[in-house]
Amino acid sequence: MSIKTMKAIRFHDYGGPEQLILEDIPIPEPVAGEVLVKINTVAVNPWDWKFRSGKYKEGMQVKFPVIPGIEASGTVVMTGPGVTGFLSGQAVYGSMMASYAEYCVVSEQQLFLKPDPLSYEEAAAIPVASQTAWSSIIEIAGLRDNQRILIQGGAGSVGIFAIQIAKWKGAYVYTTGSTENLDFLRSQGADRVIDYKINRFESLVADVDVVLDTIGGETQERSWQVLRKGGILVSIVTPLSPDKGAKYGVRASYRNSGISKEGLIQIQNLVNDGTLRPVIRKILPLSEAGLAQAMSEKGHGRGKIILKV
């Protein structure tokens, strides 16, 4: 490559959005099993700003400066030794660490070819949220046809995919959302949408098989009582007490990482056939990464915030 440096967002210490700085740094080189991708679009995730703020610093060994980013889309530039699944020039997307940058290296196993109907922006918004939703309600909760699920926070990026996956599975879907998102949530496939600003969901929902908690706090506490005996509450935000589950005669599980190879393949199939489609909330340039993370931290949005590189 003739260009040896790239633009990248980095932070040199924990702190607020102002810690994010656009800098010139060397372009990384792929080693065995890795692919060098020219980033087109990177998605903003809660992990990004929680990591930057120091929420995860306990027990982590971090070498500053750090480039944020865990999912993106782009074009293959070159491949390292042993890579057989990708060629230069192919459009790809996947879980890409350190992707707030013009280029990043990623394991071949974390990449997928971008389907032609998907824009780069849509593709970048898929990997993390779709995998979180899939592993939570399919692999952990074991959601089945004709079961009933309550998805807390349906308009978030995970909630949107959870609705789509649950409907594909044949479940009856309850979800909570704000007044302005009710019609949107119905358009995603939800059977019953509850305006949390007007109604308490526990007065309208009972005996569900699964609750997916994307909010935590008081919402999580109130969710136990809507489950049937033997049901399961899966949280993606807060570890759960098995004792609390036992009190209500239900199971409790905290989803923090991991998805099976079979899950990844099925997600890719559902993306390819159009069953899973992301929703984009806002597109900003890479230089406004601080603003993007601040918006993500405030929450209450619809879909994913995207950085265009």
More confident residue, 200 or 259: 200
Instruction: Give the pLDDT confidence of 218-258 residue by residue, as tens digits.
Output: 999 999 999 999 999 999 998 888 788 899 999 999 987 77
- Are 12 and 118 found together in one domain? yes
According to the model, what pLDDT value does residue 259 have? 80
Q: In the chain, what percentage of residues exceed pLDDT 90? A: 85
Phi, psi for 288 (deg, rounded to 5):
-105, 35
pLDDT at residue 179 greater than cutoff 70 = yes
Is there a domain that residue 262 lies in?
no
According to the model, what pLDDT value does residue 244 have? 86
- Are 102 and 118 found together in one domain? yes
Per the CB < 8 A criterion, the answer to whether 287 and 23 are in contact is no
What CA–CA distance (Å, rounded) separates 227 from 237? 19
What CA–CA distance (Å, rounded) separates 284 from 296? 12
Looking at residue 291, which CATH number applies to its domain? 3.90.180.10
Is there a domain that residue 267 lies in?
no
Is there a domain that residue 266 lies in?
no
Instruction: Give the pLDDT confidence of 156-171 residue by residue, as tens digits.
Output: 999 999 999 999 999 9
Is there a domain that residue 268 lies in?
no
What CA–CA distance (Å, rounded) separates 100 from 286? 7
pLDDT at residue 209 greater than cutoff 60 = yes
Is there a domain that residue 64 lies in?
yes
Handedness of CA 19, 24, 30, 34 (dihedral sign): positive
- Are 69 and 182 found together in one domain? no
According to the model, what pLDDT value does residue 229 have? 96
- Are 301 and 217 found together in one domain? no
pLDDT at residue 3 greater than cutoff 70 = no
Taking alpha carbons only, the member of 85, 115, 89, 114 closest to residue 37 is 89
206: Cβ contacts below 8 Å, ≥ 6 apart: 226
> In the structure encoding, which two tokens stand for residue 117, read together?
């109907």
- Are 9 and 117 found together in one domain? yes
- Are 133 and 122 found together in one domain? no
Q: How many domains does the chain have?
A: 2
pLDDT at residue 2 greater than cutoff 70 = no
According to the model, what pLDDT value does residue 304 have? 93
Phi, psi for 146 (deg, rounded to 5):
70, 5
Instruction: Give the pLDDT confidence of 113-142 residue by residue, as tens digits.
Output: 998 889 999 999 999 999 999 999 999 999
- Are 140 and 121 found together in one domain? no
**Residue 59 — pLDDT band, cuts 50, 70, 90?**
confident
25: Cβ contacts below 8 Å, ≥ 6 apart: 5, 6, 8, 10, 101
- Are 114 and 134 found together in one domain? no
According to the model, what pLDDT value does residue 169 have? 97
pLDDT at residue 112 greater than cutoff 60 = yes
Looking at residue 170, which CATH number applies to its domain? 3.40.50.720
Give 188's DSSP letter. Answer: T
What CA–CA distance (Å, rounded) separates 240 from 217? 11
Calculate the CA 107 to chain-centre distance: 19
H or E element, residue 187: helix 182-187
- pLDDT, average across residues 267-278: 91
- Maximal C-alpha separation, the chain: 64
- Range of weakest confidence among 28-32, 66-70, 256-260, 297-301: 256-260
Is there a domain that residue 120 lies in?
yes
- Range of weakest confidence among 38-52, 54-68, 161-175, 199-213: 54-68
According to the model, what pLDDT value does residue 212 have? 98
Is there a domain that residue 273 lies in?
no
What CA–CA distance (Å, rounded) separates 186 from 59? 42
- Are 109 and 153 found together in one domain? no
Q: In the chain, what percentage of residues exceed pLDDT 70? A: 99
- Are 171 and 99 found together in one domain? no
Is there a domain that residue 265 lies in?
no
Per the CB < 8 A criterion, the answer to whether 75 and 123 are in contact is no
To 10 degrees, the CA torsion angle through 91, 95, 101, 106? -80
- Range of weakest confidence among 2-11, 90-99, 145-154: 2-11
- Are 139 and 119 found together in one domain? no
- Are 134 and 159 found together in one domain? yes
Range of the domain at 42: 5-126+278-308
> In the structure encoding, which two tokens stand for residue 298, read together?
């405030």
Percent helix / strand / coil, the chain, rounded to 5: 30, 30, 40
